[in-house]
Amino acid sequence: MKRIDFYYFLTLGILALASFGVPDIHVPKFLKHKHAKVATVYTHQQVSSHMVRFLEDGSLVSTCTSTAIGPHAILTGQHCNQEGDADQVLLDLSTERHHILATSYDRHDHVIYLLDGTAFTNYIQVVSGVPNLGDGLTLYGDVLGVYPALPRYGKVIDCEDPSDLDAAQGQQCFSMDVNHGDSGSAVYNTKGQIIGLLTYGYDGEDDKPCGISYALNFAQSRYDIAATFNGTKEGLPTD
C-alpha cells in the first residue's frame, strides 16, 4: 500500500510540473552571497577585511571595519574607538573577544591595534600608494557582518572644497557610496596599494555619494612590528 501511494503522488507531481512548469524560487541576495562562499574565489585583501566591534567593560562602543595586517594586528580608524577607552574587540559576528594589548597612532585618524587571542590566517602586508584623479578604487566595508565583505568600486575624484589642513593631511575623495560601519576600511587602488582609510562619507555635488579618506602616515617599523607580533604581553614592543 505504501509503495502504491508513493508512485501515485510521484505521478501527480510529475503531471503538475508538466502543466505548470518548475516554480520560480527567489533567493534573497544576502543568502545568495552566504551560499556562494563555497564556489567564490575572494581576493587576499577581501578576506583580510573584518567588521570590528569595540567594547568597553563589555559594552558596545562602536562598529567599524578593520584590516588584518599581521597574525595579531588590525589597522582601522582612530575615531572608531572614540576616546580610546575600548579594551576589547569582537570581529565579524564571532563571540570570541580579543583584548587590545597595545596601540600605535599616526596623525591621520588611523590606528594599529595589537591583539591577543586566535591568530589571523589571512592578513596583508601594507603597501601605501598615492592616489591620482580617475584611478579605480576598491573597498571592503562592513556589510551587516557578512564575511568576506562584498567589494564596492569607485574612482578618485576632486574634493569639492578641502581645507588647507585637510589637504596637508593627505585628504582624498572618491566616488563610492559608503555606509555606517565602513569607517576604517582600507581603500585600495588597482595595484593593491592602500591609498588611505575611510573616514566618512557625504553626498557631494548633484547628491552623488562621496567618500573621504586620508593617507597613511605610519613609520615602516610600525608595520614590521604588526607583522611579527605573537599575541602575548611578553611579545609587546618596548618602544
DSSP 98-134: EEEEEEEE-SSSEEEEEE-SSPPS------B----TT
Strand 97-105 and strand 152-157: the pairing is: unpaired
| Residue 118: per-residue pLDDT | 94
Domain extents for the chain?
44-124+219-232, 136-214
Looking at the DSSP bridge assignments, the partners of residue 232 are none
**In terms of C-beta density within 10 A (0-12 exposed, 13-18 middle, 19 or more buried), how is residue 222 classed?**
buried
Per the confidence metrics, is the pTM higher than 0.85? no
| Residue 145: per-residue pLDDT | 74
* Percent of the residues in the chain that have a pLDDT greater than 90, as a whole number: 51
* Strongest mean pLDDT among 20-29, 72-81, 165-174: 72-81
Structure-model confidence comparison of residues 227 and 96, the more confident one? 227
What is the CATH code of the structural domain delimited by 44-124+219-232? 2.40.10.10
Nearest to 213 by CA among 75, 90, 88: 75
Structure-model confidence comparison of residues 142 and 106, the more confident one? 106
Least confident of 34-38, 81-85, 132-136: 34-38
pLDDT band at 186 (very low <50, low <70, confident <90, very high): very high
Q: What is the tens place of the pLDDT at every residue in 5-58?
A: 544 444 444 444 444 443 333 333 433 444 444 447 899 999 999 999 999 988
- What is the spatial distance between Cα 46 and Cα 162, in angstroms, rounded to a whole number? 30
pLDDT band at 163 (very low <50, low <70, confident <90, very high): low
Yes or no: say if 77 and 110 are a contact pair by the CB < 8 Å rule.
yes
Over residues 49-72, mean pLDDT: 93
pLDDT band at 158 (very low <50, low <70, confident <90, very high): confident
pLDDT reading at 89 higher than 90 = yes
| Residue 26: per-residue pLDDT | 34
| Residue 10: per-residue pLDDT | 41
pLDDT reading at 93 higher than 90 = no
Cis peptide before 151 (omega within 30 of 0): no
Domains 44-124+219-232 and 136-214 share a fold: yes
Does the domain made of 136-214 have the CATH classification 3.30.365.10? no
| Residue 36: per-residue pLDDT | 43
Beta strands in the chain (DSSP E): 49-56, 59-70, 73-77, 88-91, 97-105, 110-115, 136-139, 152-157, 171-174, 186-189, 194-203, 209-214
Q: What is the tens place of the pLDDT at every residue in 102-125?
A: 999 998 889 999 999 999 999 999
